[in-house]
Structure 1
């Protein structure tokens, strides 16, 4: 089979243009669903979450102490009862000269409007056997109404939108939902993605008795395991289509399996260069539309993107042909596939986050292509409780501006997987000659990895 458009004649497109084309083709057709709150971290909300009640719904004590009337100038207060969290006397009333022992989180009894903390008091038993509380100093006399009290609705107001539609749910959000009594919420469904590797030289690691025997001139497949793990946070399910080799019939069968399973995204690795065994582009030309087949970038120039008609009418299968070198595969996956998966999953801003960072090392530039240099980002050491301040701020310990420092992961060859070890950023190195010096401020795309996140 020959190319309808030979690989050598594909227009070389800039990375930004390639990403724009990908995102313009992403249209989610999946419906939202009700997700139990214990399972919905990483999903995007498809509803506004409105507080059905005020939190707290009654005035609560912030401290262990005694509920009193603010401004009461009594020195010795009669202890009329006690309120403990989960064990409350609703009949208690505090009047002038009286107080109620109260624990943190307990509701204030009627008549009280402030709490004096236990450290400012001393308790004893009067001659008649009744308990009394003595205030140390003028702690109550000078107290304002509401002192040491969580007022009704001060955490969340009745009717307040506490989580907006489009919010990517995190662990803290689950606490908000649980505190309001939500058992489930509507979230956007995540996409289904399938992955396959090509190449007669590639064999599966396998497990146990299924472990593959590697021939003398073969290599273990590193791409598929890496890509499957990278995709899991953004997908409802990842489908492993295995290794097809450089066999057209097996490739066609795997493509059809992806279509039959109503896959949203198909990712292949290898088979997109210019050799006569690189069959991905010809198959995509036959089955759908190739939007680009070469990208102005290093690593990852052969990156290919196409759309193929899905099983359902009007539904498109997004196909990404990634290069076979493992680093190229990883970088291109993060640059274009991750944003596509995020958009399918409902993210309002699916692109990788870009930040300015400071280089720790000298970085060589390439005269032919811009490069995505793998780095480990870290924060400079800081003393505890230090903060930025002006020199004239007497008595304050000044710190340097907080800037992420980018440490190169070393030799950047596209086959060297060790250049990905602990990498959590891609420094965007412009096309040119010479070097970017150490200490320069450069743009960097954040990726998951390392220990910074």
Structure 2
């Protein structure tokens, strides 16, 4: 590897070290809290469950009455239903019929499930081993203790969390304000959808790819700034406009060696921007830093991504996604990599991390990874046809069919 190249891990570490989370919260109804970032610990206002209760339909009694050497016989003296207080008493040698969720009466600590019981009139019988003392009872505060954290700050709220909040009687919650992200593409050759495609020009696909990836992060508000042409004036105006509106700016194009010098000049004029060459394929060139509109003092973080469509996706998932989580105040939520076996030989040069598009296929108990054709960084179709990105580590060389590899699945990327 050339000495002025950073590894993927070095670049990730350098970015994370420079990030600082946004400030600001808002109150939302729990129906609107899905995928938002929790702003503060939620302390349980109640015990869950609020009382000792039955985990099964069966018969409740004092476990001391169990006969370990023979049949246990108990007198049936009543019935306890969920949602109603049992008003009677249960003495030694007695039991009550009890429903799942019903409060355990005083003196009862055990439930024998109804399938293990024989009922004869007002008596029940069960054999040794049918139940142990303390079985099938949920204890008061077993799930959550009053005053203890139910959910921690920084959590991205999931469907189960909404149910948990509802179970605690909490109708509204404090979440972080949404992270504002502005994005645009650069290049005189780019045309927006609906425009005439002149000779030598291409339609701008990168903004739509970025829109799709960013929309999955529901804690983000998007500002689509379109296509910016290759002139210092246009780029500076776009950067200043974006800094006035957003916390983060994402651009595509204009960071490769050989690009017009004014692109880098404008970025550096407005702030502190690092231009990195990263030992990876695709996505080697990348810019990262912080810019400020000198007229207003408004500032934003900047990610300058390559212009090739596949490189945009790879660098977003390799660097930008985790950075947005941190900036939004969210705890890290790394996507688990899927283990798979290569379907064919793969050429790989040691000294760089490679990201290759694969289609995953289940064969018996094995997941098999098939390359989706040519891996050029401009071939967006290969990304569209894939299930994920195979991540080949920095030091790896050529791999043979059957080798175990790791795949970053697209459907795990929220």
Same fold, TM exceeding 0.5?
A: yes
Q: Which runs of 5+ in 2 are unaligned?
A: none
In the alignment, does 2:401 pair up with 1:438? yes
Distance, in Å, in 2 between the alignment partners of 1:148 and 1:350 is 35
Residue 160 of structure 1 corresponds to 148
**Contact preservation (8 Å) 1:272, 1:278:** no
Shift in alpha-carbon separation, 1:72–1:273, aligned structure 2, 3 A:
closer
Q: Does 1:114 align with 2:106?
A: no
**C-alpha separation in 1, matches of 2:350 and 2:85:** 79
SS at match of 2:226: strand
Listed as ranges, the matches of 1:8-87 within 5 Å are 12-70=5-63, 71=65, 75=73, 77-80=75-78, 82-86=79-83
Encode CA deviations 1:267-305: one digit per residue, 9 max, x unaligned: 111233345657532321322223124333221223222
TM-superposed deviation, 1:308 = 0.8
Query: Are 1:47 and 1:186, in contact at CA under 8 Å, matched by a contact in 2?
Result: yes
Alpha-carbon spacing, 1:243–1:59, altered in 2? closer, same or farther (3 Å) = same
State the partner residue of 2:99. 103
CA contact (8 A) 2:277 2:286 kept: yes
Aligned to 2:243: 259
CA distance in 1, matches of 2:330, 2:74: 60
Partner of 2:322: 339
Aligned to 2:137: 149
1:194 equivalenced with 2:182 (yes/no)? yes
For 2:412 and 2:273, the matched residues in 1 are separated by 38
Counterpart selection for 1:409 from 367, 372, 375: 372
Q: Which residue of 1 aligns with 2:214?
A: 231
Alpha-carbon spacing, 1:377–1:269, altered in 2? closer, same or farther (3 Å): same
Matched residue, 2:386: 422
Alignment of 1:216-295 (within 5 A): 216-234=199-217, 235-261=219-245, 263-275=246-258, 279-295=262-278
Cα RMSD after superposing both structures: 3.4
Query: CA 1:89–1:288 in 2, change beyond 3 Å: closer, same or farther?
Result: closer
What SS class does the counterpart of residue 436 from structure 1 fall into? coil
2:66–2:133 contact (8 Å) kept in structure 1:
no
C-alpha distance in 2 between matches for 1:451 and 1:156 = 29
Could you report, residue by residue, the CA deviation over 1:80-133 in whole angstroms, capped at 9, with x for unpaired residues? 3x22223x2442222345433322111123343332322234556xxxxxxx34
CA contact (8 A) 1:340 1:350 kept: no
Q: Which residue number in structure 2 is paired with residue 7 of structure 1?
A: none
In the alignment, the residues of structure 1 paired with residue 73 and residue 353 of structure 2 have an alpha-carbon distance, to the nearest angstrom, of 77
Distance 1:121 1:29, change over 3 A: closer
Query: Contact between 1:226 and 1:330, CA under 8 Å: does it hold in 2?
Result: yes
Residue deviations 1:404-449 (CA, integer Å, cap 9, x gap): 65432331011111222333234125478x722123345x463x51
C-alpha spacing 1:184/1:139, structure 2 compared with 1 (3 Å): farther
C-alpha spacing 1:409/1:96, structure 2 compared with 1 (3 Å): same
Give the aligned partner of residue 183 of structure 1. Answer: 171
Query: TM-score, structure 2 length as denominator?
Result: 0.83
- Shift of the alpha carbon at 1:238? 0.9
Structure 1 residues 366-406: Cα deviation after superposition (integer angstroms, max 9, x where no partner): 47854222334566633xxxxxxxxxxxxxxxxxxxx8654
Aligned length: 405
Aligned-partner Cα distance in 2 for 1:370–1:148: 53
| TM-score scaled by length of structure 1 | 0.77
State the distance in 2 between where 1:133 and 1:314 align: 82
Give unpaired runs (5+ residues) of structure 1: 1-9, 125-131, 206-210, 383-402
Q: Provide closer, same or farther for how the CA distance between residues 166 and 450 of structure 1 changes in structure 2, counting only shifts above 3 A.
A: closer
**Against the structure 1 CA distance between its residues 193 and 112, is the aligned structure 2 distance closer, same or farther, given a 3 Å change threshold?**
same
